[in-house]
Structures are given as structure tokens and as C-alpha cells.
């Protein structure tokens, strides 16, 4: 993948994270590893590797939290109830 694609995925994951924090009550502490990296999606001067590390950190934080929190919820269809 190109650096631009990594930055795009990074930005999308940050938006998912914001949604989870605002609407699903995901605690900010869940992102401590990601925050420690200091690589925001807007950090276009950061290397491709740094963005890849940030993506991995977000995935490692969000994935287990979703599995634990949302496993017992029914899946909602986008087309109706």
C-alpha cells in the first residue's frame, strides 16, 4: 500500500474510534497505546511505518473492545429495524 492509503485508513479508524467513544461509551483509556505513539492521521510528515503502527494500535484497541461489548447485541439492518 502507498503512504496515502495508510493515512486514509488511519483517518477512517480514528472516526470509528470517535463514534465509539461518543455513542458507545468506549473509555479513553482503551486508546492509551495509540495515544502514546503520537501519530495522528493529520501527521502527513510521519513515515508510512508510523501510520501502519498507529493503524495496528487502533485495531488492537477497538477489536477486543467491540468483541467484548457488542457480542450480545443483535445486528441491525441498514434497511430497516
Give pLDDT tens digits for 43-79.
Answer: 999 999 999 999 999 999 999 988 888 777 776 666 6
CA atoms of 11 and 41, how far apart (whole Å): 5
Instruction: Just give the CATH number of 3-65.
Output: 1.20.1270.110
What are the b/e assignments for 10-30, b being 16+ CB within 10 Å? beebbeebeebeeeeebeeeb
- Distance between the two ends of the chain, CA-based, in angstroms? 38
Please state the domain extents for the chain.
3-65
High-pLDDT (> 90) share of the chain, %: 75
Kindly indicate the confidence band of residue 3, based on its pLDDT and cuts at 50, 70 and 90. very high
Which pTM value belongs to this model? 0.83
Amino acid at each position: 500500500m502507498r503512504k496515502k492509503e495508510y493515512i486514509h485508513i488511519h483517518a477512517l479508524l480514528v472516526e470509528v474510534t470517535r463514534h465509539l467513544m461518543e455513542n458507545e461509551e468506549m473509555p479513553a483509556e482503551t486508546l492509551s497505546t495509540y495515544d502514546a505513539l503520537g501519530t495522528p492521521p493529520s501527521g502527513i510528515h510521519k513515515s508510512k511505518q508510523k501510520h501502519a503502527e498507529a493503524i495496528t494500535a487502533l485495531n488492537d484497541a477497538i477489536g477486543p473492545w467491540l468483541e467484548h461489548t457488542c457480542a450480545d447485541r443483535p445486528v441491525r439492518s441498514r434497511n430497516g429495524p
